Amino acid sequence: MPRRYQVIHDTEYRYERPAASAWQLAHLRPRYSPHQDVTRHHLEIEPLPSELGSALDFFGNPVQRFAVPVAHDRLQVRSIAEVTVRPRLTPLSALPWEQVVAAIDDGVPALRHELVQFCLASPFVPIDDEAVALARADLRPGRDLIQALQALAHRICSGFQFDPDATHVGTPLSQVLETRRGVCQDFAHLMISGLRGLGLAARYVSGYLLTHPPPGQPRLIGADASHAWVSVWCGPAGWIDVDPTNGKLVDESFITVGWGRDYGDVAPLRGVVWGGGRQQLSVRVTVTPR
């Protein structure tokens, strides 16, 4: 059955001293897709912006731009969305992965144009030899691609430790491979690097994941977080999403905000602040089943 959620994503920047102004680009509105509908979404911004506009970015993700032209010592952005997610009809099998690579290389020009941007290195995802070797351990010759993706996701989940203190947004992939620690963003970048190094088209997906409290305990406000996973083009099977952080295929517990080449294409908030000195960021996400 479809699942309905309310997602509240709170972001607050506190500045060392008042900032004169700010311009921000937000990837916070979940996107429509064959398995997801957005019933309602709005932003609450403090201080009130002088302008607020909406558009679609290059990848078709909804984006919102806003400007705060007055002095402020903190910026608060609350995103409230209501989303319906339907079960994904993931096929049990696909072509062998080498045939999918050949379909990219030899496909019609329109298909190559769509996919090639997800086959190349990008600012946050270099083609790392160690990441490629990691992927090759599961993408053996002739192996079904969907089965290989599940095995690779499980390998990353079991071989790397989730540690929110181990990395930051700019941590290079080489450090993640060395320490075997990171967060969902790092593990998505790692898997993408290995798959692209083998010629496959893999994109970075940002969104949310419904977490489950211990039995008998209530859901806590702010207990959830932004999440990231990987979507891979599997030939006739289409795009298949897989989560290396949890070692599983994506299901209706996942809420998609947007996708791109890597984190930089779909960062929740990015922009320019004039003045303010050092800043402190706090983020709180609450996903509530409806």
Taking each helix axis from N to C terminus, what angle separates 97-106 and 109-116, rounded to the nearest 10 degrees? 110
**Strand ranges, E, within 126-201:** 161-162, 181-182
pTM of the model: 0.94
Instruction: List per-residue pLDDT tens for the chain, 290 residues long.
Output: 899 999 999 999 999 999 999 999 999 999 999 999 999 999 999 999 999 999 999 999 999 999 999 999 999 999 999 999 999 888 878 899 999 999 998 878 888 889 999 999 999 999 999 999 999 999 999 999 999 999 999 999 999 999 999 999 889 999 999 999 999 999 999 999 999 999 999 999 999 998 877 777 766 554 578 999 999 999 999 999 999 999 999 999 999 999 999 999 999 999 999 999 999 999 999 999 98
Nearest residue to 8 (alpha-carbon basis) of 263, 224, 252:
224
Walk me through the domains of the chain, giving residue ranges and CATH numbers: 3-86+267-289 (2.60.40.2250), 97-265 (3.10.620.30)
Nearest residue to 122 (alpha-carbon basis) of 179, 188, 57:
188
